[in-house]
Amino acid sequence: MPRSGRSARTAVARAVLVVLAVALAVLVLRALAGGEAEGAPAGTPAPPGPVTATPPPPGGVQPARVRIPSLDIDAAVVDLSLNPDRTLEVPQDVETTGWWAGGARPGAAGPAVVVGHVDSETGPAVFYRLRDLDPGDRVEVVGVDGTVVPYRVDALETHPKDDFPTSAVYGPTQGPTLRLVTCGGEFDEDSQHYRDNTIAYATYSPA
């Protein structure tokens, strides 16, 4: 009888060990199937991949707004054409910029030309602070479809209006470029116009 009782207890202990081993194996398999990363809690999402900017379409975008974060400029863009004397129109609204619709679209190869007033009889206008731009400043043109075309300022120049650098502003470029133009220099009381133009040159820079 004693031997028989000891055998029964041994059999029960073995059965318990088998059950524990099976349970442990199930837990391990579940962990492996769940793909838990070492040291990471279950259900932790994978880190996001690098964010890449969406390039503009090959033909560029129809501009809707221009933004210059360093100058707190965020202005609407309207289409401009040429006057009968072949000069570029200017926006009617002094808080609105204008894009020469006969030139390159923002994001396409060539210079996209955007102009704006420096001031008016009531005070500063949309491009009043354009003269404060620095090389490296970011400029964004937003298309009507929401595409953002980013540029970096290369240079800022001032030229007399009677010696406007037409080729540098409107001449072809290999890649997408941007020209921002406004009035500058001294104000001529006789003509009621500024004598110079301030011009910012920028290059497409998706980084």
* Residues whose CB is less than 8 angstroms from the CB of residue 175 and which lie 6 or more positions away in sequence, other chains included: 109, 203, 204
So what's the pLDDT on residue 28? 35
To the question of pTM greater than 0.85 for the whole model, the response is no
Separation between Cα atoms, residue 53 and residue 13, nearest integer Å: 64
Q: Please, are residues 58 and 103 in contact by the beta-carbon 8 Å criterion?
A: no
So what's the pLDDT on residue 173? 96
* Residues whose CB is less than 8 angstroms from the CB of residue 198 and which lie 6 or more positions away in sequence, other chains included: 118, 127, 130, 131, 156, 157, 158, 181, 182, 183, 184, 185
Per residue in 167-196, pLDDT tens? Answer: 999 999 999 999 999 999 999 999 999 999
So what's the pLDDT on residue 132? 97
So what's the pLDDT on residue 58? 83
pLDDT tens over the chain, length 207 residues: 344 444 444 444 444 333 334 343 433 334 333 433 333 333 334 334 333 456 788 899 999 999 999 999 999 999 999 999 988 999 999 999 999 999 999 999 999 999 999 999 999 999 999 999 999 999 999 999 999 999 999 999 999 999 999 999 999 999 999 999 999 999 999 999 999 999 999 999 997
Partner residues linked to 155 by β-bridges: 201
Burial 160-175 (b: 16+ CB within 10 A, else e): eeeebeeeebbeebee
Q: Please, are residues 56 and 147 in contact by the beta-carbon 8 Å criterion?
A: yes
Cα of 187 vs its chain's centroid, Å:
35
Tell me the two tokens of residue 3: 């031997």
